[in-house]
């Protein structure tokens, strides 16, 4: 089974805005359209469809704008995560330990727990020194 993909959002989560707009429009807009339909005579299915479009489109638009403004002001739709990204446990960070802040890039970085990397270089002799 494939893992579920997750996304990190900065700013307004427009997928949340669209889903919330859909649900709120059905929950609020459908009763409003039904109540308004009692005030007019709708004799055919075409008249009913035209009425639904004339009434439903403004309800949908007003709902979408209201939900988008709500999401922008309250940072809604972020999945409820109140995480602080300054703790350093963020995925994808550089895992090297550079405690002195020196990031020259020209030095070989070693792990402090590796005894071989911490050992001084071995004394090597050249072939001429061995023969000579």
- In this predicted model, what pLDDT tens digit does every residue of 56-83 receive, in sequence order? 999 999 999 999 999 988 876 655 555 5
- In this predicted model, what pLDDT tens digit does every residue of 15-40 receive, in sequence order? 899 999 999 999 999 999 999 999 99
Sign of CA dihedral 96, 102, 103, 104: negative
Give the containing element (helix H, strand E) for 36: helix 30-37
Distances (CA, A) of 117 to 41, 95, 107, 111, 114: 88, 18, 13, 7, 5
Return contacts of 119-128, CB within 8 angstroms, 24+ apart: none
CA distance 93 to 109: 16
The alpha carbon of 127 is separated from its chain's Cα centroid by a whole number of angstroms, namely 61
Residue 54 has pLDDT above 70, yes or no: yes
The pLDDT mean for the chain works out to: 76
CA distance 78 to 94: 26
Q: What is the pLDDT of residue 105?
A: 53
Q: What is the pLDDT of residue 84?
A: 46
């Amino acid at each position: 089974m494939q893992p579920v993909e997750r996304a990190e959002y900065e700013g307004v989560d427009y997928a949340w805005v669209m889903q919330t707009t859909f649900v709120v429009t059905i929950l609020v807009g459908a009763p409003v359209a039904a109540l308004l339909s009692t005030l007019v005579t709708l004799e055919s299915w075409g008249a009913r469809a035209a009425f639904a479009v004339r009434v439903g489109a403004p309800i949908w638009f007003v709902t979408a704008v209201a939900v988008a403004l709500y999401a922008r002001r309250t940072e809604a739709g972020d999945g409820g995560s109140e995480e602080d990204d300054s703790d350093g446990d963020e995925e994808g960070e550089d895992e090297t330990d550079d405690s002195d802040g020196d990031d020259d890039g020209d030095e070989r970085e070693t792990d402090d727990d590796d005894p071989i990397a911490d050992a001084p270089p071995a004394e090597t002799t050249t072939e001429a020194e061995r023969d000579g």
